[in-house]
Structure 1
Amino acid sequence: MSSGYQHIDACRFTAASIAPLMHADCLNANTTLITDVQIDSRACTKGSLFFALKGEKNDGFSFLSDVCDQGAAAVVVPKSRAKEARARVSCPVLAVDDVLTALHDLAQSYLQRLSSVKTIGITGSCGKSTTKEALSRITAVMGPTAKTPGNLNSEYGLPLSMFGLQEDSRYGVFEMGIDHVGEMDRMVGTLKPSIALLTNIGISHLEKMGSQEVIAEQKARIFHPGLEAGFVSSNCSHLDLIERVAGRNLVRYDSNEISAIDLGLDGWMLTYEGHTFSVKSVGRHLLEDVVGAIRVARYLGA
């Protein structure tokens, strides 16, 4: 069975047919169908395509035998270690220049098969998940919607999230979280979101980024040249810097656009343009995220 959020199994890829999508050399080809894509060896099951990424603490290459025993359809490894991989596993080996780049190449190729989907990228120091959940609830009424499952929002998680898209998907709502310089560029290059939203700039990951200005500049790179529309909270710090990096005027939104009655632990009673609805979550910061989601949804035709 494929992971609940993944639909790559519908493509009926084998190791040989998927190899060109990630510029890989296929060794030991067979006819086993790929059901899902994994970067955690513990999540691999029958039909998984395992990317042997090297992290700060663990090297996925160390678990090749394990994933093969668990029924993996193929493993993705660096070309420099392909011979070693073939000695360890009996399943197909996909040899690539860089394993993370190959994961992004595959996600991008998968997205290109889905011509009718509109993608929305959401970034910011906090509020990404609330905005994603609110927006995806609205777009799901408008058409089939895929969204980031859990917190799969990094340069490792985003490509995995993209496999949640299906042939009939109309919308893909994805979080794009970054913790180091250059990460947003990689994710934007893969997803190329149709619409982007930035919630705010905080001090998380300051130790890796160096300053709030660098954080703002890096997050602002979500507003890429091919973007249809960009949205940003009016209360976001460094707005001038963000718009300068974006190279465009961004649509600004504010919690003052919504009327709110605090219901305490029961959440909020909200009124927007004459429509009244309740939200169970608590905290005033939620209001801005809901308005951001509504503004994007209205742009999409809600």
Structure 2
Amino acid sequence: MDKKTEGFSAREAAAIIGAAVFSPSERKTVTIDGVAIDSRNVKPGNLFVALEGERADGHHYLSEAARAGASAVLVDHEKSACVEGGWAAFATHSGLVVMTVEDPLVALQRLSRWWIDRFDTLVRIAVTGSSGKTTTKELLGSVLSMKAPTVVNPGNLNSEIGLPLALFGVGPADHFGVFELGINRIGEMELLSSLYHPQHLLITNIGTAHSGPLGGKEGVFREKTKVLAHMQGEGFVFYPEDDDRIDALKSRYPSLAFRPYGPATLTGLETVEDLGTEGWLLRYRGVSIHYPLLGQHNLQNGCGVIALAFELGVSPELIGAALSAAAPVAGRCRLLRGAISVLDDCYNANLDSSERVFEYIASLPWDGRKVIVFGSMKELGSSSLDAHRAAGQAIASSGVDAVFLYGEETSESFREISDQGSMSQILHFSENQFDELSERLLAFVREGDLVLLKGSRTMGLERLIPLLQHEEKEFLHA
């Protein structure tokens, strides 16, 4: 916000969210320039929003926010005991404007909605799905920025807390906004959609991620598609060409233009050549494009980006330039080449994304051995046992040379692989055995191997990357 606009006044914000205000007498007008919820990230002029989380409560870090240069704080009116003398006294001795509300998170969300609604010329695009959201959002943002100034949510700020923070990044110079919407509980999509109200939507896929808290695979579909009810105008909805469930929704939203996407349905896609570890070579409307992202799923999502960008007026030449410059996002099917190569796909995992990457490594030409390190898939609820069994079957069919399983849930995968697989090494480790996993993996790998890391974010498999890179240096200096 600080680089794009002059911000807004604390009293203006207080009026929007219905806050009581305690202000130092010498500060008649206070301008807010940016919003932060972590005192370590506060910059001069920021509004610090004190949120209570599972591990920390922002109300205990108000003094740190003041020292970092915050101009105002947004707090729970009932938590005055966290500061000496109450909120009025804290405002006086800290020099901060203090805004008190019943629920700081709700106030943050309301303020972010007011902020983005100021920019009525912004073309609002949402990206959602069970996997591939962040890569697709970044890719679409880079393509659209070739035509006009574009803002995207940083990293994966896509939740009930992250999205409001990301929306404050919108400024008057921006023409396109590309924001991913991520959910893990019932009702969250309705909240996020009501804050953003997208005009256009790109659905990457709707599978099994967070199927536990969302009520199974059909629950995921039901919750994800609730965004449609909050779309504004006569926008586009792009969805995967192999998902026929969308057809049942079209009659309910006659103002929206539904468009399937993928290599079989993308109008103007003339040829597709699989380059293996080099990505894809596409010819689109006469333009040759070297698209470096790996795997069929990235080809699919790339087709969605192309289709939507073309509808929004981006030329094939500019689309090609942006796609050719695409770089993989950490943890999302990123190939790290070396003496030991690592296929880093461990940002998150569900059955759909796991089966896709197992199929990919099975089909990938590789001179050395192939090794899979598979961590538990979390938040699958009652489908967890079946999902891990199915993942084990997919691994057993992949033809890799060795499998290292990590996490209690993968014991189901271990049984399936042991019954069906013919690997030289099949080992299972519990979640408290990361050191043992690391030791056995490093003892097994050798120069020329390809190691796939796949598992849910909470399993922390990315910790293996520097260990394997260190091992690579040992090979190179041997």
Give the TM-score of the pair, scaled to structure 1. 0.89
Aligned residue in 2 for 1:214: 219
Kept in 2, the 8 Å contact 1:47–1:72? The answer is yes
User: Quick one: distance in 1 between partners of 2:248 and 2:63?
Assistant: 49
Q: 1:8, 1:97 → 2: CA distance?
A: 31
Q: Post-superposition shift, 1:260?
A: 2.2
Partner of 1:112: 117
Q: Compute the displacement of 1:12 (Å).
A: 3.6
- Cα pair distance change 1:129/1:184, threshold 3 Å: same
Corresponding position of 1:176: 181
- Aligned equivalents of 2:153, 2:8: Cα separation in 1: 23
- Return the alpha-carbon distance in structure 1 between the equivalents of residues 284 and 165 of structure 2: 35
Deviation at 1:8, TM superposition (A): 7.4
Work out the CA distance in 2 between the residues paired with 1:237 and 1:26.
Answer: 52
1:239 pairs with one of 221, 227, 246: 246
Q: Tell me if structure 1 keeps the 8 A contact 2:293–2:299.
A: no
Higher mean Cα deviation, 249-258 or 33-42?
249-258
Q: Which runs of 5+ in 1 are unaligned?
A: 1-5
Q: 1:269 aligns with which of 281, 290, 313?
A: 281
Q: Which residue of 2 aligns with 1:126?
A: 131
Q: Output aligned runs, 1:148-167, within 5 Å.
A: 148-167=153-172
- Residue type at the aligned position of 2:21: C
Q: CA deviation at 1:25?
A: 2.2
2:13 corresponds to 1:13: no
Aligned residues: 297
Residue 254 (structure 1) aligned with residue 262 (structure 2)? yes
Do the aligned partners of 1:130 and 1:290 also contact (CA within 8 Å) in 2?
A: no
State the shift of 1:173 in Å.
0.4
Specify whether residues 12 and 177 from structure 1 end up closer, same or farther in structure 2 by C-alpha distance, changes over 3 A only. Answer: closer
**Bigger relative contact order (CA 8 A; separation at least 6):** 1
Q: Deviation at 1:245?
A: 7.0
Deviates more, 1:182-191 or 1:30-39: 30-39
Equivalent position of 1:75 in the other structure: 73
Of 37-46 and 115-124, more deviation after overlay is shown by 37-46
Q: 2:59 aligns with which of 61, 65, 80?
A: 61
**Closer, same or farther: CA 118–274 of 1 in aligned 2, 3 Å:** same
Partner residue in 1 for 2:41: 43
Q: Which runs of 5+ in 2 are unaligned?
A: 315-478
Question: Partners in 2 of 1:152 and 1:226 — Cα distance?
Answer: 20
Identical counterparts, % of pairs: 34
2:296 alignment counterpart: 284
Deviation at 1:85, TM superposition (A): 4.0
Amino acid at match of 2:133: K
Instruction: Return the alpha-carbon distance in structure 2 between the equivalents of residues 9 and 86 of structure 1.
Output: 32
Give the SS at the match of 2:5. Answer: helix
After TM superposition, give the deviation of residue 117 of structure 1 in Å.
0.7
Q: Which of 27, 31, 41 pairs up with 1:33?
A: 31
Aligned to 1:3: none
Against the structure 1 CA distance between its residues 239 and 115, is the aligned structure 2 distance closer, same or farther, given a 3 Å change threshold? closer
1:13 and 1:204, CA in 2 relative to 1: closer, same or farther beyond 3 A?
same
1:298 is aligned to 310
Q: CA 1:296–1:187 in structure 2 vs 1: closer, same or farther (change >3 Å)?
A: same
> Would you say the 8 A contact 2:190–2:226 is kept in 1?
yes
1:47-102 Cα offsets, whole Å, 9 max, x none, are 22111112222222121222122221111112333574444452111112321121
Give the secondary-structure state (helix, strand or coil) at the position aligned to 2:8: coil
Alpha-carbon distance in 2 for matches of 1:9, 1:135:
21
CA distance in 2, matches of 1:230, 1:276: 26
Q: CA deviation at 1:130?
A: 2.2
CA contact (8 A) 2:123 2:176 kept: yes
Aligned counterparts of 1:35 and 1:225: Cα–Cα separation in 2: 29
Q: Secondary structure at the match of 1:75?
A: strand
Higher alpha-carbon Rg: 2
Confirm or deny: 8 A CA contact 1:230 1:251 kept in the other structure: yes
